[in-house]
Amino acid sequence: MTSIYLSLRPKSNRLYKIKEIYYTLQGEGFHSGRPAVFVRFSGCNLWSGREEDRADAICDFCDTDFRGTDGPLGGSYSAVDLAKTIQNLWPGGIRPFIVCTGGEPLLQLDQPLVQTLKQADIEIAIETNGTITAPDGIDWICVSPKAGSEVVQRTGSELKLVYPQAFIQPEEVADWDFTHYYLQPMQNAQWENNTKATVDYCKAHPQWRLSLQSHKYINIP
């Protein structure tokens, strides 16, 4: 790893605000079960993260704490330091795989950071609401559209729609240019009914596959 670190050169002086960084298994979607370093960027453009603002938020069902930088390994990072931290968490053996998430990671994840991570031979996946165009070089783009938002990133690897949402239906996004299409039951007080509805929709429309948040079942981050 040392030779990789010494070869890294900063592409900008920007500092990236990170809520938390941790090594775990991806719990949902196409890469479910795959070891990954999660990099949770602070901030979102569809909800402030404050409970008092939830009722008026575009994404009012978010279950993630993305405010601030106070989580495990949270802080303000240069691109090079972030790449080093990811490498230090990875156990080795194969190329590191990271999931950039949030909040909304594309508020911060830019071309200089992507270039630095690629220079460190890191495979980059992103989970985004699709309201900001992704920079070039990201290996896996997962878009999870939210009703009431303007989605501009309509191409990628994986479309993952939380279901049901009152004002966005799967058929409205089924012709977007993605390789894989997933429906994920909304986890709220109606979770059992939502899960049945999701299963029924996938069975009736085989373009879609069921995504479950397996990390919550086995109690890992």
**56 catalytically annotated:** no
Count CA atoms closer than 13 A to 85's CA, side-chain side. Answer: 20
Take residue 124 and report the two structure tokens written for it: 């980059």
**62 catalytically annotated:** yes
Element (H, E) at 173: helix 170-173
**Catalytic-labelled residue, pool 44, 100, 142, 202:** 44
Burial class from Cβ neighbours inside 10 Å (0-12, 13-18, 19+) for residue 174 reads middle
**52 catalytically annotated:** no
**139 catalytically annotated:** no
**171 catalytically annotated:** no
Sign of CA dihedral 105, 109, 115, 120: negative
- Round to whole Å and give the CA distance between 161 and 194: 13
**Catalytic-labelled residue, pool 51, 56, 63, 175:** 63
**Catalytic-labelled residue, pool 20, 28, 31, 38:** 38
**Catalytic-labelled residue, pool 28, 104, 127, 158:** 127
Calculate the alpha carbon distances from 24 to 14, 43, 127, 215, 218 in Å: 27, 22, 16, 9, 12
Torsion on CA atoms 133, 137, 138, 141, rounded to nearest 10:
50
**Catalytic-labelled residue, pool 59, 100, 142, 202:** 59
Whether cis (ω within 30° of 0) applies to the bond prior to 103 is: yes
**215 catalytically annotated:** yes
**Catalytic-labelled residue, pool 24, 60, 64, 180:** 64
Sorted by sequence, the CB contacts under 8 Å of residue 156 that are 6+ apart come out as: 134, 140, 141, 142, 143, 177, 178, 179
Q: Which residues belong to the active site?
A: 38, 44, 59, 62-64, 127, 215
